[in-house]
Amino acid sequence: MSEEAGPLLVVYDDPSDQRSLSLDDTSSTEESPDETRLSLETTNDAIPYMGQRFATHDAAYEFYSEFAKRCGFSIRRHRTEGKDGVGKGLTRRYFVCHRAGNTPIKASNESKPQRNRKSSRCGCQAYMRISKSTELGASEWRITGFLNHHNHELLEPNQVRFLPAYRTISDTDKSRILMFAKTGISVHQMIKLMELEKCVEPGYLPFTEKDVRNLLQSFRKLDPEEESIDLLRMCRNIKERDPNFKFEYTLDSNNRLENITWSYASSVQSYEIFGDAVVFDTTHRLTAFDMPLGIWVGMNNYGMPCFFGCVLLREENLRSFSWALKAFLGFMNGKAPQTILTDQNMCLKEAVALELPMTKHALCIWMIVGKFPSWFNAVLGERYNEWKTEFFRIYNLESIEDFELGWMEMVNSFGLHANRHIANLYGLRLLWALPFLRTHFFAGMTTNGQSKSINAFIQRFLSAQTRLAHFVEQAAVAVDFRDQAGEQQTMQQNLQNICLKTGAPMESHAATILTPFAFSKLQEQLVLAAHYASFQMDDGFLVRHHTKAEGGRKVYWAPREGIISCSCHHFEFSGILCRHALRVFSTGNCFQIPDRYLPIRWRRISTPSAKLFQSTPSDHAERIQILQSMVSTLVTESAKSKERLDIANEQISILLSRIKEQPVSLQGMRDVSSVHEVFDSRIYQK
């Protein structure tokens, strides 16, 4: 072994390491050849040891990287040293823990916003040093320094794979992702599909959604500035054809499109009645441009999702979200929702508090649950499904005391005391756990069935995206017209014979007022009310299940004022009276539910769009009315026998196939949308 003396050239792979990490010859001791041989004879080759030899420095790096992965950390190249002179080359290399060094202080730039990202560096001193030696004319590298003491916790094997150093997208997967992108599906859907294709558990791909988004960003081929111009032109064209179409936008200092939001006339009209509870979903992006996309959605009186508005943002920050909420309120004539459901986004949380101070802000449970596989699947392993069942049990509890006790028992049972996601969820429990939210109205959008319905609606909306400029117009078609399955669902609700189950006058009265969706919810409570006993107290009624001797709900009833309230807050939460209040009504010989407890938003009503259609009919719309009358007659006549139904189904299927082959127009579709409610109301009148 021979190394010539001389000045060393030191090069840092990361300049920020120069002052934050000091590794020199005093940190380890050079070993003699004899000691090296002893180490080779007695040491497991899976663990780095002094004097261990490698043919190249890259081989040494790969060896140390594999060792780090098994131990629960990753590594990076720290610095290289070489002799000052022609042909001298590298003589030493340092590889350090990924948490070595400290975060460099960046110079502030007022014109450019800074991202406050927390650094993972904590000054860890673990490292491996290799030195080049030459014996008998052959060069090799050997370990001359090694320290494996860390000042931070090492990751478990099922967690270490999430470190950036171990997240990779193969060429095959890249091609697959780009193919998916061309179809317009979301990144979340891409991940789900690839997990199914590779037969891996959720969260076990060698890359994350963020990695996929970064990949798509790097492959962007369209000119964003040109697309933005086309998008504005498209919005202006729609505005010319439909003066009730609304859109707002902002430009940056370079006069380029920064943010844009829009809403359709039918959406504004629907919001007048159904805008009491709103979901603002900001978890999606336009795939081709990786642009954050926000969608405002609500729930109509038939329990079906309705679209209120859409926004594209360049950045997800407080300023952008505040602008979006202000513009949305402007579209809706300044009417703020009673409640708004969003994703876990601190900037959005601040924006809601700032722009909607009187609105109750909560977190969408299905957006939280959608992250569970990546958060807990690897941590809990085989107990993941068991834990998820327990989570939903606790989530649906009625009292805060029961929730707190159940949460503590869950954490203890599954050993999640140190899990940061569990700690974060508990810290935000006032925003998502039902025991803390039951005094606020959510239109049933926190139930599992309705959350799936809304999510499916949003996915259909997103499927309209192709080029950015065409997105607004194509989304209009997706919004204004329910797909075939949605139309069938509405028709089934309209035409079904409502079955009365209790025979109570309250039930038959409510059946004539509420939509089938809302009535089914009230009917559930009416059936359950028969199983409860009521006891009159000095200050109201105590209502409890007939099998229980203790507990129950407190109901206050003022018959003269027509006011009733229950400590379970079911009416405040859903707009449907609870079994406890209905039991008190029955005890007090009340045969009709007071009007105030049959909310307009759950009634069989015509929306403003239907009234608008009635006052300003067009030739096209009149022909639609005639067609609807014929359809109504067709249904009536066909229902009279099985043979008639068979003929109708066969012929209508053929006719529908021919109709779908014909071209469509945007205006024609809107005429159809505006008469839907008229058709609904006529069916009810019959």
Per residue in 341-374, pLDDT tens?
999 899 999 999 999 999 999 999 988 988 898 8
Give me the pLDDT at residue 615, please.
Answer: 37
What average pLDDT is seen over the chain? 78
pLDDT tens for each residue of 425-438: 999 999 999 999 99
Distance of CA 646 to the CA centre of its chain: 43
Query: What's the DSSP call for residue 381?
Result: G
Confidence at residue 122, expressed as pLDDT on a 0 to 100 scale? 85
Distance, CA of 7 to chain centre: 57
Q: What is the mean pLDDT of residues 419-423?
A: 94
Are the C-beta atoms of 576 and 602 separated by less than 8 Å? yes
> How far apart are the C-alpha atoms of 602 and 573, rounded to whole Å?
13
- Rounded to a whole number of angstroms, the distance between the first and last alpha carbons of the chain is 101
| Residue 346: CB atoms within 10 Å | 8
Q: Residue 63: its pLDDT value, please?
A: 92
Do the Cβ atoms of 239 and 249 come closer than 8 Å?
no
CA distances from 279 to 269, 308, 568 (A): 17, 10, 24
Higher pLDDT pick, 178 / 99: 99
The three-state (H, E, C) secondary structure of 334-349, written as one string:
CCCCCEEEECCCHHHH
Interval 437-481: pLDDT, tens: 999 999 988 876 666 777 777 666 665 444 555 566 555 555 554
**339 phi/psi in degrees, rounded to 5:** -135, 150
CA–CA separation, 303 and 443 (whole Å): 9
Q: For the stretch 39-66, what's the b/e string if a residue is b when 16 or more beta carbons lie within 10 angstroms of its beta carbon?
A: eeeeeeeeebbbbbebeebeebbebbee
Distance CA 108, CA 110 (A): 6
Q: Look up tokens 């300003």; give the residue.
A: 616
pLDDT of residue 208: 85
Q: Measured in whole angstroms, how far is the alpha carbon of residue 425 from the centre of its chain? A: 15
Q: 89: how many CB neighbours lie within 10 A of its CB?
A: 11
DSSP 75: E
- Judged against a pLDDT cut of 50, whether residue 681 lies above it is answered with no
Summarize pLDDT for 60-109 with one digit per residue, the tens: 999 998 899 888 899 988 877 765 443 456 688 899 998 888 776 666 55
pTM: 0.59
As beta bridge partners, residue 130 has: 93, 143
Indicate the length of the chain as a whole number. Answer: 686
